[in-house]
Amino acid sequence: MSMFRLIVAAVFVLSAVAMAGAADLGDIGKKAGQKASQKASDSTMEQFTKKLKKAQNEKGPIRFKKGKADIDPACDPTMRYIAKLVKESPGFHVQVDGHTDNVGKPESNRKLSQERAEAVVKYLTGKKGVDAGRLSAKGWGDTQPIADNKTEKGRARNRRVDFTVTKM
């Protein structure tokens, strides 16, 4: 009988070790799946961001009246295309980032850039039917230039709207 008990005990121990190993493998598989899913999601988010940036290169930049937050009506094809892209990419939130050149007071520039970003959100939600919960506005003023503010050409490049894509 003692040999039988020894065999039963050994089988029990081996079973417990095997189950623990299987559970560990399950956790490893789950973590690997989550990591792969995160990479795929990040890649999709990156591609979506590139499409939004490319939209202004292809359809034309979003322009405003000088010193104002009024969107130039000639930008409608660009806005229509951006709205289409946002609607086709559920699961992502888009922050509209407003920027200015460095002419004027920094606080005035920040306020103007915020108003312009809000104007884009309002246009996309009110005129193009984008869900307001998918958009937000952030004014950066002159804090993130992409060109030299010493020339008119550089200042013109710095007066812009960009988009930051995040997950919902």
Question: What's the rounded Cα separation, in Å, for the pair 127 and 113?
Answer: 21
Which residue carries 């189950």 as its tokens?
19
Poorest-confidence range of 34-48, 110-124, 139-153?
34-48
Tokens representing 59 are 């359809």
Average pLDDT score over residue span 59-64: 92
Q: Is the pLDDT of residue 94 over 80?
A: yes
Please provide the CATH number assigned to the domain covering 44-167: 3.30.1330.60
Percent of the chain with pLDDT over 90: 66
CB 158 within 8 Å of CB 99: yes
Q: Per-residue b/e over 87-125, b at no fewer than 16 CB within 10 Å?
A: eebeebebebbbbbbbeeeeeebbbbbbbbbbbbbbbbb
Q: What are the two backbone dihedrals, phi and then psi, of residue 71, each rounded to the nearest 5 degrees?
A: -75, 135
Strands 92-99 and 135-139, bridge-based pairing: parallel
For residue 73, what pLDDT is reported? 94
What pLDDT is attached to residue 4? Answer: 60
Answer whether 102's CB lies under 8 Å from 150's CB.
Answer: no
Nearest to 127 by CA among 55, 76, 61, 58: 76
Whether residue 2 is predicted with pLDDT greater than 80 in this model: the reply is no
pLDDT at 65: 83
The string of pLDDT tens digits covering residues 96-110 is 999 999 999 999 999
Please determine, for residue 23, whether its predicted confidence score (pLDDT) is greater than 80. Answer: no
DSSP strands (E only) in the chain: 92-99, 135-139, 160-167
Q: What confidence tens digit (pLDDT) does each residue in 7-16 have? A: 655 555 555 5
Please report, for residues 4, 8, 76, 94, 136, the alpha-carbon distance to residue 123 in angstroms, rounded to integers and kept in the order given. Answer: 80, 74, 9, 14, 12
C-alpha to C-alpha distances, 80 to 75, 110, 143, 157, 163, nearest whole angstrom: 9, 26, 28, 22, 15
